[in-house]
Structure 1
């Protein structure tokens, strides 16, 4: 199979596969995506005998990872023609995407899996889960906050207030997307194409916002962000006022939130959902791109295996000093052994080394595990990008 970036002439087949595998062409999001957001040069095609068999979109993003901004691509809309499925085309396309990103100087990758089990053997591990909360609108009453002001967002003009709340929410988190003016423009346009946006104010201070949809018994918020407990209660009060338009409110939020402990019935309506995978594209460049605690002084040998990117497989020496990492190939054959997916979980801080060892996802001595714990301390991960 041959791979290449698409051109404007490929638009029909790109749209056709999205229509077949995801939203139909009549869907508001489809219309917005291919009118406002789609760029042909960000789509990677796989061809056999001149026919497109598979494709994926590589949408550029900036992630804040352990406090540092890192450029990446979000693998979106990975689609395969029905006749090419079960042929290994998906794995070949993922490998080609890794090569393409490496050439661009992007050393990590994110992907939202429809079926995590398909991607995990290829080194894609879930670094971010979310809570999904589901409460009846009547049950929201004890959680509401009065005397708040609301603004129904209908244009891009409110982006600075949305950004202020988002930046406050993500301040202590890792793995999230950095949103600038252009990305806020896209988020607002996309949401208004298929739903609503409300901003919540405490006086003149924006303290919460929600992207939500009406029209069904379940009112669903795909993004529910607040800068304080008062802001969250203000948003819940706004949703409580929709009792004539729905029965249930459902929303997603980061695992760092613990307020479910104080819901009227903490046994109901609270579940964990898998959300985003992270994948290392290039081991040495990735480990040199992320920051480390300035107090850490460590040198370790890592043996990495990668089923898709042969350039990652091998023995690497990582030296950490004064907040920086240096990586080089080594002839040493003693050190920690792990697949590329486990290293990704350490880099994102989603799982600690001792936990990975418990689940047989890496092997090392007690001293080596302690060193890994120091180099890759856990973080609270969050991301809420959908495309």
Structure 2
């Protein structure tokens, strides 16, 4: 197969495969995406002869990982033409995408899976779950605060009402997208193409906001963010006031949220939703761009089913908060062994080393495991980007 980045002349092919596999052309999101967000240079296309077989969009984002801003590519719209399916095309496309991301200096990669089991053999592991909450509107009443007031966001120019709430919500989290003015404007315009945005205010101070859609018995919120517990109660009160326009409310919470413990009835409507996978694009680049709060060194081996440049033995040394990574000769004695997906879970902070050992995802000497735990402590992971 041959791979290349799309050009202006490929727009029709890109739109047609999206229309075939995802939203149709008349869908408001399709119209917004290809008018306002799509850039051909972010689309990697695969060809068998003269026929396009597959493509994926490599949308650039900035992530906050362990307090450090890192550049990443978000794989979305990965699609294979039906005539080319069941021929290993997906794996070849992912390998080509990793090569392109490495060339760009994006050393970690995120992907929202429709089914995580498809991507796990390729080194993608879930680093972020969310709570999926679904409650009857009447059940919200004891969770509300009626003393706050509300406003509508009707233009991307009003992004400054939302940014401080998001910054407060994510202050102690990791793995989330860093949003600047440009990304906020894009985020808001995408939502306004499909639904509404409300802001909860405590006096003049925004303390919560939600993206939501009406028109169905279940009112669905695509982003539900608050700066304080009172802000959350204010948002639930706002939705409670829609009892004539729906009967159920569905929203997502970061998995770190524990306010569900105080719901009157937690037996129903509270479940986890696998949300985002993370992957290592380049072992050396990923480990050297992270910050560290501890010191230590060890030699480990990892195997990568897609990127042969990651397979091998590595020496990691951390001193004064900075890592240096050196590839060592095959056959050199190692302190720990792990697949590339496990290394991603450590980098993103999704799991403790002890839990990875229990799940047979990593093996190592006691000393090596102690060093890994010190270098890669577990983080509260969150992200809510959908495209």
Return the TM-score normalized by structure 1: 0.99
Q: 2:278·2:344 contact (CA, 8 Å) conserved in 1? A: yes
Aligned residue for 1:14, secondary structure, equals: helix
- C-alpha distance in 2, partners of 1:84/1:352? 40
Q: Counterpart of 1:246?
A: 246
Q: Counterpart of 2:386?
A: 386
Aligned residue for 2:377, secondary structure, equals: coil
Q: CA RMSD in A?
A: 0.7
**Shift of residue 330, structure 1, vs aligned partner:** 2.0
**Shift of residue 335, structure 1, vs aligned partner:** 1.7
- C-alpha distance in 2, partners of 1:249/1:308? 41
Write the deviation string for residues 131-170 of structure 1: whole angstroms up to 9, x where unpaired: 0001100000001101211011111122011000000000
Aligned residue for 1:167, secondary structure, equals: helix
1:66-81 counterparts in 2 under 5 A?
66-81=66-81
- C-alpha distance in 1, partners of 2:242/2:119? 39
> Which deviates the most, 329-338 or 250-259?
329-338
Q: Counterpart of 1:114?
A: 114
- C-alpha distance in 2, partners of 1:123/1:94? 10
- C-alpha distance in 1, partners of 2:275/2:110? 11
Whether 1:150 aligns to 2:150 is: yes
Aligned residue for 1:311, secondary structure, equals: helix
Aligned residue for 2:162, secondary structure, equals: helix
Aligned residue for 2:77, secondary structure, equals: strand
Write the deviation string for residues 266-298 of structure 1: whole angstroms up to 9, x where unpaired: 1111000000000000001110000000xx220
Q: Counterpart of 1:282?
A: 282
- C-alpha distance in 2, partners of 1:252/1:97? 30
Q: Counterpart of 1:365?
A: 365
- C-alpha distance in 2, partners of 1:334/1:261? 44
Q: Counterpart of 1:21?
A: 21
**Shift of residue 264, structure 1, vs aligned partner:** 1.5
Whether 1:298 aligns to 2:284 is: no
- C-alpha distance in 2, partners of 1:127/1:256? 13
- C-alpha distance in 2, partners of 1:70/1:133? 31
**Shift of residue 350, structure 1, vs aligned partner:** 0.2
**Shift of residue 368, structure 1, vs aligned partner:** 1.4
Q: Counterpart of 2:185?
A: 185
**Count of residues paired in the alignment:** 385
Unaligned 5+ runs, structure 2: none
Q: 2:175·2:381 contact (CA, 8 Å) conserved in 1? A: yes
- C-alpha distance in 2, partners of 1:281/1:297? 24
Unaligned 5+ runs, structure 1: none
Aligned residue for 2:231, secondary structure, equals: helix
Write the deviation string for residues 207-249 of structure 1: whole angstroms up to 9, x where unpaired: 0000000000000001000000000000000000000000000
Write the deviation string for residues 343-368 of structure 1: whole angstroms up to 9, x where unpaired: 00000010111111111111112221
Q: Counterpart of 1:311?
A: 309
- Structure 1 runs of 4+ aligned residues shifted over 4 Å read none
- C-alpha distance in 2, partners of 1:251/1:140? 12
- C-alpha distance in 1, partners of 2:377/2:337? 18
Q: Counterpart of 1:174?
A: 174
- C-alpha distance in 1, partners of 2:327/2:25? 49
- C-alpha distance in 1, partners of 2:158/2:209? 11
Return the TM-score normalized by structure 2: 0.99
- C-alpha distance in 2, partners of 1:199/1:359? 42
